[in-house]
């Protein structure tokens, strides 16, 4: 494979999966799965195209658009669209690869894919964003559909961008169908969809805490460090507070906002202020000198929160990939952290995962830190996207309570599936917690490759 370009993010995601499969008993029990791993690691289709649009000054602008249709064994390709200057094929392949197994763990009929563009919505007017979205969807529409590929939003793609793209798809195809998820509530969107990833990661950690404490503990009284300040971080923070925990940090690409008092926490009102800030695409720096924030928080410029939060019980990286290093992993353990789960995709570097897994293996039960990988812990977002697809197909709308109940059930299944699979194929030493990363990887992989074999994709 030396003729292929170096794709560091994708290679990291592939190696993380492959190493956990190798270090389990899966290949001993099913040696034919080695061939399946080779097959599943190559996308079924990669689409790349140019996006030409006009800015407000009348200048022609050019961006690159992508859609990686990675695997359709379990259903239509499903995964978000990311609009960000960092977007490249390596990042989208890593995200699409992770999405295969994440979607499998939800139990819903969804394949895995990812797409987007190196377009940056920040600093653009609504008209410029609309013109870009129209041009982007004009090409993408040739390759997607409700039973083929159903994109959603991701970084840089909010309800506004989804609306512009949906409108253009409808004009081109002359049909209304659930081709995108994350739609507006009055035209096919699902209740709880904006909250789903943040809520889901908290529900997942609830099961981790419940398992370790044998039902004696919950989020009540826990200090929780969260990175990011976008959709995932906001709703994770609100749910933690609702469940009795304290949120001690949020962050963005410029720095981190950390509470100064040992008993302090972000309040829902403060989180809502930050949410309004992000709608305007502003940074946390625009509020750090306001009296309401300056008296309660410290702002650490250019830093992630992990080494600045003091004592914490739970860490939820919820910004972007590789946002916890090996050094920061050790700092979290030293700060008393016992649960870490990824609200972002591949939020921890491999060095950090190795630190967490080594600590779990060398300490018994509650004395160890327990790591929940993103493909299981942050599956709530795509799960409710799948529920949105189901509602669109039936032309019905469920209540918020019904969607939330289904989300809770899916997150419980994600946790239980990973836990039981780890016990079967990566048996922990006596008294040690099972590896959720191994269990989740194996559970998702087995489900997908079994379907692929039935379809004749490998034999």
CA distances to 74, 231, 276, 286, 326 from 280, rounded to whole Å, are: 38, 13, 7, 11, 34
Find out whether 399 is annotated in a ligand binding site. Answer: no
The Cα–Cα gap between 257 and 304 comes to 9
Within 13 Å of residue 224, how many CA atoms lie on the same side as its CB? 35
Report how far residue 82's alpha carbon sits from residue 78's, in angstroms, rounded to the nearest whole number.
13
Q: Are 375 and 383 in contact (CB under 8 A)?
A: no
- Token reading at 398: 């469920």
The answer on whether 138 is annotated among ligand-binding residues is: no
Contacts (Cβ under 8 Å, ≥6 apart) of 141? 168, 169, 172, 173
Which residues on adjacent β-strands are paired with residue 53? 61
Which of the 8 DSSP states describes residue 253?
Answer: T
Q: Per the annotation, does 231 bind a ligand?
A: yes
Instruction: Indicate the SS3 state at residue 49.
Output: strand
The most distant pair of C-alpha atoms in the chain lies apart, rounded to whole Å, by 68
Specify the 3-state DSSP secondary structure of 113.
strand
Q: Where are the beta strands (DSSP E) in 377-456?
A: none
What is the spatial distance between Cα 317 and Cα 346, in angstroms, rounded to a whole number? 9
Count of CB atoms within 10 A of residue 158's CB?
Answer: 20
Q: Is 285 marked within a binding site?
A: no
158 labelled ligand-binding: no
Q: Report the alpha-carbon distance of residue 223 to residue 198 in Å, rounded.
A: 17
Q: What's the CA gap between 103 and 382, in Å, rounded?
A: 7
List 114, 124, 222, 447, catalytic entry = 114
Is residue 222 marked as binding? Answer: no
Q: Measure CA 364 to chain center.
A: 29
> Residues 6 or more apart from 439 whose CB is under 8 A from it?
417, 418, 419, 420, 421, 422, 423, 425, 426
Burial class (CB in 10 A: 0-12, 13-18, 19+), 288: middle
SS3 content of the chain, % helix, strand, coil (to 5): 45, 15, 35
User: Is 15 part of any known ligand binding site?
Assistant: no
The verdict on whether 239 is a catalytic residue reads no
The answer to whether the CB of 421 falls within 8 A of the CB of 443 is yes
Beta bridge partners of 445: none
Catalytic residue numbers, as ranges: 114
Residues annotated within the binding site for NAD(+) are: 197, 231
Residues annotated within the binding site for substrate are: 78, 99, 102, 153, 385
Residues annotated within the binding site are: 78, 99, 102, 153, 197, 231, 385
């Amino acid at each position: 494979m030396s003729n292929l370009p170096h794709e560091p993010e994708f290679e990291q995601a592939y190696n993380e999966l492959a190493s956990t499969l190798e270090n389990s008993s899966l290949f001993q029990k099913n040696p034919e799965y080695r061939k399946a791993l080779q097959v599943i690691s190559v996308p079924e289709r990669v689409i790349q195209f140019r996006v030409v649009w006009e800015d407000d000054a009348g200048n022609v602008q050019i961006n690159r658009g992508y859609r990686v249709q990675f695997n359709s064994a379990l259903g239509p390709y499903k995964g978000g669209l990311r609009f960000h200057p960092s977007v490249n094929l390596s990042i989208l392949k890593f995200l699409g690869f992770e999405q295969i197994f994440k979607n499998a763990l939800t139990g819903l009929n969804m394949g895995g894919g990812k797409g987007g563009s190196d377009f940056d919505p920040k600093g653009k007017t609504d008209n410029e964003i609309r013109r870009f979205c129209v041009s982007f969807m004009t090409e993408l529409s040739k390759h997607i559909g409700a039973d083929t590929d159903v994109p959603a939003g991701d970084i840089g793609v909010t309800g506004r961008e989804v609306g512009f793209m949906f409108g253009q798809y409808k004009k081109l195809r002359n049909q209304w169908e659930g081709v995108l998820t994350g739609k507006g509530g009055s035209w096919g969107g699902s209740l709880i969809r904006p909250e789903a990833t943040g809520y889901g990661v908290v529900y997942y950690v609830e099961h981790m805490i419940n398992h370790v404490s044998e039902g004696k503990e919950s989020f009540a009284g826990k200090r929780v460090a969260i990175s990011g300040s976008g959709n995932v971080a906001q709703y994770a923070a609100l749910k933690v507070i609702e469940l009795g925990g304290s949120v001690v940090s949020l962050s963005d690409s410029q720095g981190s906002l950390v509470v100064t008092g040992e008993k302090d926490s972000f309040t829902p009102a403060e989180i809502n202020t930050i949410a309004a800030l992000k709608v305007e695409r502003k940074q946390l720096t625009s509020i750090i000198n306001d009296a309401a924030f300056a008296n309660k928080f410290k702002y650490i410029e250019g830093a992630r929160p992990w080494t600045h939060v003091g004592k914490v019980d739970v860490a939820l990286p919820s910004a972007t990939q590789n946002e916890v290093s090996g050094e920061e992993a050790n700092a979290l353990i030293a700060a008393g952290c016992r649960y870490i789960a990824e609200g972002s995709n591949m939020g921890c570097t491999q060095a950090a995962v190795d630190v967490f897994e080594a600590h779990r293996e060398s300490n018994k039960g509650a004395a160890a830190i327990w790591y929940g990988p993103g493909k299981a812990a942050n599956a709530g977002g795509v799960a409710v996207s799948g529920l949105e697809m189901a509602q669109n197909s039936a032309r019905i709308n469920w209540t918020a309570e019904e969607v939330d109940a289904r989300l809770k059930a899916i997150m419980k299944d994600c946790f239980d599936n990973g836990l039981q699979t780890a016990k079967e194929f990566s048996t922990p030493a006596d008294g040690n917690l099972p590896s959720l990363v191994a269990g989740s990887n194996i559970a998702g992989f087995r489900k997908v490759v079994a379907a692929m074999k039935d379809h004749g994709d490998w034999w």
